[in-house]
Amino acid sequence: MGLHLLSAPQAGGAALHRAHHRQPGPGLHPGGGGVIRALRRRFLLIAMASLAGTLALLCLAINLGYRHMLTQRADAAVEMLHQTGGAFQIPDAPVDPAAHGGFQVTPETPFETRYFIVHLTENREVTEVDAEHIAALDRQMVVEWVGNILDGGKQSGYTSYYRYGVFAEPDGGTTIVVLDCFLQLQGAGGVLRISLLAAGVCLLTVFLLLLLLSRRVTRSFVENLERQRQFVTDASHELKTPLAIISANTGLLSDSLGENRWLESTRAQVGRLDRLIQNLIELARTEEALPDEAVAPVPLGRVAERALEDFRPLAEAAGKTLDGRIEPELVLPGVEDNLARLCALLLDNAVKYCDEGGAIRLTLARRGRWAVLSVSNPCAGLDAAQLPRLFDRFYRADSSRARSSGGYGIGLSTARAIVARHHGRLTARLSGGTVTFTAVLPLFSRPPERFLHR
């Protein structure tokens, strides 16, 4: 009697018992594995970006507020000098500073305030210059400054570190009061430097704290991920035993009763479940970190060429064309079987979902210190909104085509996991009805000669 058996462990219960005593893979420990590293990096990036944005807004508010306060006080002093004809009047009783824009006159104010006042006719002719309260400018320089102020056409503003005010007089003339704000603006610059320094120290301190605490923060996620992976692996192994029994029973029924459509359907579904289980096990393994002893120089160019030759007959049988442009001397650190599987998954996806009579193209090129592997094919039924979900497990943009071609929606998830464990990035882009999957992987800075010429 012909028994149709699937590969299965000898004792299913023992397999589950052993699974519960397995040590977590290297990618399941906190800080280990591409997924965990990506999670920690994302956590640090989001936290630091949020803090940097908050500190930037705080520094901006402090410095703009301080500058506004200085300008308001300077304008109040200029206004007071204009009203009093160039002399500070010390009040007999305390005055609320808010009544004069925060500016308060003390007995020392006339001696510590530097300013000059110029009176002009309506024809802009200088009639009087009061420069006794400033030593940095003589009469000629004062006249030049006044000309520049009038040419500016503003009623108030800054020119260098001087604050000025232009006042129209009842007789048609003009009075210009210019106040030296050097010390105040210098203080504003000091506040800016101190606030930026404090923000930088705060950012650095928080970054170091988050770097130390990120493992603890992501621990719960790591534990959940470990349990999920362990469950997928254990459940997949345990499902193989009943599937093997069903397959054997189907074979016995076939020998006893003969072939019929129900037995054929059962055998087909058992085979489909077996392939799904194999894919789930593969996905769980590829999401673990690469052990150091497994990493070796991989000639990716040769791997891609072999995959291209393997899939060309499949593409031609489906009425599609497959060609490539590959730089052969590209070497990167990794596991050759994984990278061969990556090429196979991308090409298999392209052959399945390429439009009828379409052209599939694989390219492998060097870009700086990175290897860029791209597979593109026309796919008119794909919408740009679906791109972010293409790498989700069990997601299929076209379910009917996926079922007819034997797809499970796991291939691209596995491809992304392979790229992630090799410290790379896999993305999808849709342009002009053509979808392109691009894997960016780090290269060796200097490829070993023995791997290029063997």
Distance in angstroms (rounded) separating the CA atoms of residues 208 and 67 = 33
Question: Burial level of 409, CB count in 10 A (0-12/13-18/19+)?
Answer: middle
Confidence band, pLDDT 50/70/90 cuts, at residue 407 = low
CA neighbor of 181 nearest in space, from 94, 75, 101, 87:
75
- Predicted pLDDT of residue 340: 93
Average pLDDT over residues 10-35: 39
Domain ranges of the chain: 90-181, 295-452
Distance in angstroms (rounded) separating the CA atoms of residues 57 and 55 = 5
Do residues 433 and 380 make contact, with C-beta atoms less than 8 angstroms apart?
yes
Note the pTM of the prediction, 2 decimals.
Answer: 0.53
In this structure, which topology does domain 90-181 adopt according to CATH?
Answer: Profilin-like (3.40.1840)
Three-state secondary-structure class, residue 446? coil
Do residues 245 and 274 make contact, with C-beta atoms less than 8 angstroms apart?
no
Range 295-452 has CATH code 3.40.309.10: no
Position with higher pLDDT, 39 vs 439: 439
Residues 6+ apart with CB under 8 A from 157: 163, 164
- Predicted pLDDT of residue 97: 52
Question: Distances in Å between the alpha carbon of 118 and those of 139, 173, 179, 360?
Answer: 10, 11, 12, 81
Q: Is the pLDDT of residue 42 over 80?
A: yes
- Predicted pLDDT of residue 91: 58
- Predicted pLDDT of residue 448: 47
- Tokens 């590209």, residue? 330
Handedness of CA 189, 194, 195, 200 (dihedral sign): positive
Q: Is the pLDDT of residue 21 over 70?
A: no
Q: Please state, rounded to an integer, the average pLDDT across all residues of the chain.
A: 79
69-123 pLDDT, tens digit per residue, is 999 999 988 988 888 887 776 655 455 554 455 567 777 777 788 888 999 988 8
Average pLDDT over residues 45-69: 94
Q: Is the pLDDT of residue 276 over 50?
A: yes
